[in-house]
C-alpha cells in the first residue's frame, strides 16, 4: 500500500496519532481494573434475574391490536405482553 492509499485510523472521526495508539495499546496490555471502569448502558433488569427471550408468532390482527395497545399505554409491545401474562397467570 502506498502512502497515498494508506488509511489513517480514526476515533470518532478524528485521526489517531501513532503515539496515542501505542499508549492505548500499552494500557490495554497492562490490563484494566474492572471495578474502576465506567459501567456502560445496557438493558435494565426487569426482575430478580436476567430475562429470557421467548419468541412468539402473532397473526396480523393480534399484532395490530398489540401495537395499538402499546401506543395507547405509551409503552412498548414487550411491556404489554409482560403485563398481560402477569395478569393472566396471576403472577407478581
In a domain? residue 27 = no
Task: Please tell me the predicted confidence (pLDDT) of residue 2.
Answer: 54
Q: How far apart are CA 68 and CA 74, in angstroms?
A: 10
Least confident of 36-40, 55-59, 73-77, 83-87: 36-40
Closest by Cα among 47, 49, 70 to 58: 70
DSSP at 7: P
High-pLDDT (> 90) share of the chain, %: 39
Judge whether 40 lies within some domain: no
Residue 71 has pLDDT above 80, yes or no: yes
The answer as to whether 47 is a domain residue is: no
79 domain residue, yes or no: yes
| 19 inside domain | no
- Could you tell me if residue 53 is inside a domain? no
Domain annotation covers residue 65: yes
71 within a domain of the structure (yes/no): yes
Range of the domain at 78: 60-89
Cβ–Cβ under 8 Å, residues 66 and 84: no
47, pLDDT greater than 90: no
* pLDDT for the residue numbered 44: 73
Q: How many structural domains compose the chain? A: 1
Amino acid at each position: 500500500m502506498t502512502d497515498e492509499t494508506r488509511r489513517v485510523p480514526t476515533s470518532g472521526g478524528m485521526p489517531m496519532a501513532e503515539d496515542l495508539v501505542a499508549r492505548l495499546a500499552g494500557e490495554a496490555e497492562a490490563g484494566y481494573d474492572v471495578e474502576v471502569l465506567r459501567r456502560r448502558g445496557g438493558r435494565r433488569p426487569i426482575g430478580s434475574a436476567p430475562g429470557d427471550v421467548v419468541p412468539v408468532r402473532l397473526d396480523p390482527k393480534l399484532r395490530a391490536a398489540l401495537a395499538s395497545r402499546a401506543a395507547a399505554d405509551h409503552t412498548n409491545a414487550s411491556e404489554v405482553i409482560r403485563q398481560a401474562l402477569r395478569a393472566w397467570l396471576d403472577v407478581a
